């Protein structure tokens, strides 16, 4: 690609020449978020009439990516995931194209033969997976990575055809970001050569995505990625405490049981044959609940919980909405769907053991609870999920804190459901005695005995009895940390130390943004906040405001919003006319 350079090579260096090559836009991070943004920007420029030679002054774009390749980021990178790790979200929700949600599914259909030929280990994951295959297929995370690499390369080529000069710097990590005359100064490090370089850009978009905490103890893994580190670093026969019982915890269980064998019994039930010395896993969380299992959604149209009703709630002034207003619509719709009162107690605290609960979730997903085999509550909930982030922003401050404290887990257990295939494997592991699920409640204690090299967990149970267990290893599988201050990346540390940026407060502290434009807010001398001109962000670092900040569809919609705004600015600017 013309103009593409890697590893901070070929740029102007501050100090050596006293000036730098100025970019019109710098994108820091080129995983799913960055790729989606680049795609949306190319589409928005095309819609605005940009084409080869139409903008003689040119638009200069810089892309910085810490990884060696652009597109996969962390969650879809074969260096971090294993072949049996599949996307938890439906493939129809994983497209980088805001107006074409089925693009990923279509791309797979076009490239399936080549993908399987090159990666035979993926073949089984292209088989139909009833009951959710019709409208919700799940593919290996690494397949999504291949899609992202392909779309990223295609997008960069398309931008070049529109006379956009694209400077790509892979294996280049941003270290610092500071305001400068006419824009921002970015300090970065070339990872291969450990050389520091600087760039100047009029605008900056932060799409740095997920981050990995640093490991400090041999017997404590602060993240489940890369999966190979778990598989290689935890000995056979170890007793492992897994913090969390949701999607990341389930993927941890699959990683640490990969040396066993899953097989179908004569009656079609999935069974697990353990290796000689299986690792024993205890998945623990306050609720002790597992994610619900994705079933088939029906065609039933909501009558109360409608797009119009949700838009009405979202139109309320920020900070004026109460949870009860949303819940009343949901409750009324569920009553209509089920023909009577909806059993909320079963949702909040389903009865039976975790193994019994998961078995029931699987049966519900396979058979449905509606006349057409659909799962009615999943059908009803679908419109609410797409509006959740907008409604979250409208909640009263106390109501938002209450949601974070009491309902976040419950929301994501139902919003981010697990695929049937993963649920079947988890149930087989539980029935084989390899995995158990522990409900911690609100009071528990986890302590490390450095002398004996063990972890001691003390907690209560539903009968108010005290339980005590000892573990060799602890794995934190609670997903992406919510507090951006805990991000060990140099850029994050620098931003968190800054006195010119505003941050949200609460459990999910992150960069404060204007949710309408995703412009990052700065702090004024008077204590107030205002958008920083030319500085934008979306993704995990904005979780304090955006409920779906790390969910693929939410990222794509956010990318479209930022891209369309920037395309309007570029098109209106005489510099590009």
pLDDT at 56: 65
Is there a cis peptide before residue 226, judged by omega within 30 degrees of 0?
Answer: yes
Same domain, 59 and 168: yes
- Residues 238-255, mean pLDDT to the nearest whole number: 96
- Residues 81-103, mean pLDDT to the nearest whole number: 89
Residue 319 located in a structural domain: yes
Calculate the CA 52 to chain-centre distance: 35
pLDDT at 135: 66
Q: Which of 365, 384, 413 corresponds to the end of one domain?
A: 413
From 407-416, 451-460, 565-574, the region with the lowest mean pLDDT: 407-416
Residue with tokens 């080549």: 114
pLDDT at 407: 87
Identify the domain containing residue 353 by its residue range: 307-413
From 48-52, 231-235, 245-249, 262-266, the region with the lowest mean pLDDT: 48-52
- pLDDT band at 10, cuts 50/70/90? very low
Residue 537 located in a structural domain: yes
Q: Would the pLDDT of 94 be above 90?
A: no
- The winner for highest mean pLDDT among 8-17, 371-380, 425-434 is 425-434
From 82-91, 122-131, 478-487, the region with the lowest mean pLDDT: 122-131
Residue 92 located in a structural domain: no
pLDDT digits (tens, 9 = 90+) for 222-238: 999 999 999 999 999 99
Same domain, 426 and 279: yes
pLDDT at 46: 92
- Cα(405)–Cα(116) distance, integer angstroms: 44
pLDDT digits (tens, 9 = 90+) for 370-390: 988 899 999 999 888 888 888
Same domain, 472 and 342: no
Residue 145 located in a structural domain: no
Q: Would the pLDDT of 188 be above 60?
A: yes
pLDDT at 16: 32
Average pLDDT, the chain: 88
Residue 125 located in a structural domain: no
Same domain, 241 and 325: no
391 in Cβ contact with 326 (< 8 Å) = yes
Calculate the CA 181 to chain-centre distance: 34
Same domain, 400 and 432: no
CATH number reported for the structural domain that contains residue 495 in this entry? 3.50.50.60
Same domain, 391 and 311: yes
C-alpha distance across the termini of the chain, in Å: 24
- Percent of the chain scored above 70 by pLDDT? 94
Residue 130 located in a structural domain: no
Same domain, 320 and 380: yes
- Residues 361-377, mean pLDDT to the nearest whole number: 92
Q: How many domains does the chain have?
A: 3
188 in Cβ contact with 170 (< 8 Å) = no
Q: Would the pLDDT of 4 be above 50?
A: no
- Residues 390-413, mean pLDDT to the nearest whole number: 87
Residue 29 located in a structural domain: yes
- pLDDT band at 507, cuts 50/70/90? confident
Same domain, 427 and 518: no
Per DSSP, the residues of 395-442 read: B-HHHHHHIIIIIHHHHHHHHSPBPHHHHHHHHHHHHTTSEEEEE--S
- Residues 338-363, mean pLDDT to the nearest whole number: 91
Helix (H), strand (E) at residue 233: helix 227-233
- Cα(191)–Cα(199) distance, integer angstroms: 16
User: 126 or 541: whose pLDDT is higher?
Assistant: 541
Residue with tokens 């400090």: 216
pLDDT at 17: 34
- Percent of the chain scored above 90 by pLDDT? 61
Q: Which of 413, 435, 466 corresponds to the end of one domain?
A: 413
- pLDDT band at 309, cuts 50/70/90? very high
Q: Would the pLDDT of 547 be above 80?
A: no
Query: From the CB of residue 206, how many other CB atoms can be counted at a distance below 10 Å?
Result: 27
- pLDDT band at 461, cuts 50/70/90? confident
Same domain, 388 and 515: no
- pLDDT band at 166, cuts 50/70/90? very high
pLDDT at 474: 97
Same domain, 47 and 169: yes
Q: Which of 397, 413, 429 corresponds to the end of one domain?
A: 413
**Torsion, CA 219, CA 222, CA 227, CA 231, rounded to 10:** 10
pTM reported for the whole predicted model: 0.90
Same domain, 279 and 426: yes
Residue 133 located in a structural domain: no
Calculate the CA 416 to chain-centre distance: 10
Same domain, 470 and 511: no
């Amino acid at each position: 690609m013309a103009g593409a350079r890697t590893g901070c090579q070929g740029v102007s260096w501050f100090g050596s020449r006293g000036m730098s090559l100025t970019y019109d836009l710098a994108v820091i991070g080129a995983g799913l978020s960055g790729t989606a943004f680049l795609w949306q920007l190319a589409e928005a420029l095309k819609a605005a009439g940009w084409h080869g030679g139409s903008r003689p002054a040119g638009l200069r774009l810089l892309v910085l990516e810490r990884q060696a390749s652009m597109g996969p980021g962390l969650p879809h990178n074969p260096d971090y995931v294993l072949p049996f790790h599949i996307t938890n979200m439906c493939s129809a929700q994983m497209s980088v194209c805001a107006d074409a949600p089925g693009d990923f599914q279509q791309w797979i259909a076009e490239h399936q033969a080549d993908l399987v030929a090159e990666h035979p280990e993926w073949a089984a994951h292209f088989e139909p997976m009833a009951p959710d295959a019709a409208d919700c297929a799940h593919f290996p995370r690494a397949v999504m990575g291949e899609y992202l690499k392909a779309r990223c390369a295609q997008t960069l080529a398309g931008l070049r055809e529109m006379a956009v000069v694209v400077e790509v710097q892979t294996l280049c990590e941003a270290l610092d970001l500071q305001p400068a005359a006419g824009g921002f100064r970015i300090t970065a490090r070339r990872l291969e050569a450990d050389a520091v370089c600087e760039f100047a850009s009029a605008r900056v978009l932060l799409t740095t995505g997920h981050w990995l905490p640093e490991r400090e103890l041999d017997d404590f893994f602060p993240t489940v990625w890369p999966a190979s580190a778990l598989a290689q670093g935890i000995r056979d026969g170890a007793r492992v405490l897994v913090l969390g019982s949701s999607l990341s915890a389930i993927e941890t269980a699959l990683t640490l049981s990969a040396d066993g064998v899953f097989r179908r019994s004569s009656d079609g039930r999935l069974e697990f044959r353990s290796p000689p010395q299986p690792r024993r896993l205890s998945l623990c969380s306050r609720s002790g609940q597992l994610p619900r299992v994705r079933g088939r959604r029906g065609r039933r149209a909501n009558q109360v919980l409608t797009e119009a009703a949700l838009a009405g709630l979202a139109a309320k002034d920020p900070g004026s909405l109460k949870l009860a207003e949303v819940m009343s619509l949901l409750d009324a719709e569920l009553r209509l769907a089920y023909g009577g009162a909806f059993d909320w107690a079963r949702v909040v605290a389903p009865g039976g053991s975790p193994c019994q609960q998961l078995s029931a979730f699987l049966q519900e997903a396979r058979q449905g609870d509606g006349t057409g085999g659909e799962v009615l509550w999943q059908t009803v909930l679908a419109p609410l999920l797409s509006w959740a982030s907008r409604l979250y922003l409208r909640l009263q401050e106390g109501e938002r804190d209450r949601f974070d404290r009491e309902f976040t887990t419950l929301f994501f257990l139902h919003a981010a459901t697990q695929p049937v295939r993963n649920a079947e494997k988890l149930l087989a592991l539980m029935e084989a005695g390899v995995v158990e699920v522990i409900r911690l409640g609100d009071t528990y204690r986890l302590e490390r005995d450095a002398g004996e090299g063990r972890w001691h967990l003390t907690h209560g149970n539903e009968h108010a009895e005290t339980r005590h267990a000892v573990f060799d290893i602890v794995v934190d599988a609670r997903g992406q940390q919510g507090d951006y201050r805990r991000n060990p990346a140099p850029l994050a540390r620098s931003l968190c130390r800054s006195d010119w940026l505003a941050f949200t407060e609460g459990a999910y502290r992150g960069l404060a943004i204007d949710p309408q434009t995703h412009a990052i807010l700065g702090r004024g001398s008077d204590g107030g906040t205002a958008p920083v001109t030319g500085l934008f962000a979306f993704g995990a670092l904005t979780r304090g405001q955006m409920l779906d900040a790390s969910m693929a569809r939410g990222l794509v919609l956010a990318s479209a919003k930022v891209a369309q705004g920037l395309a309007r600015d570029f098109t209106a600017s005489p510099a590009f006319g």
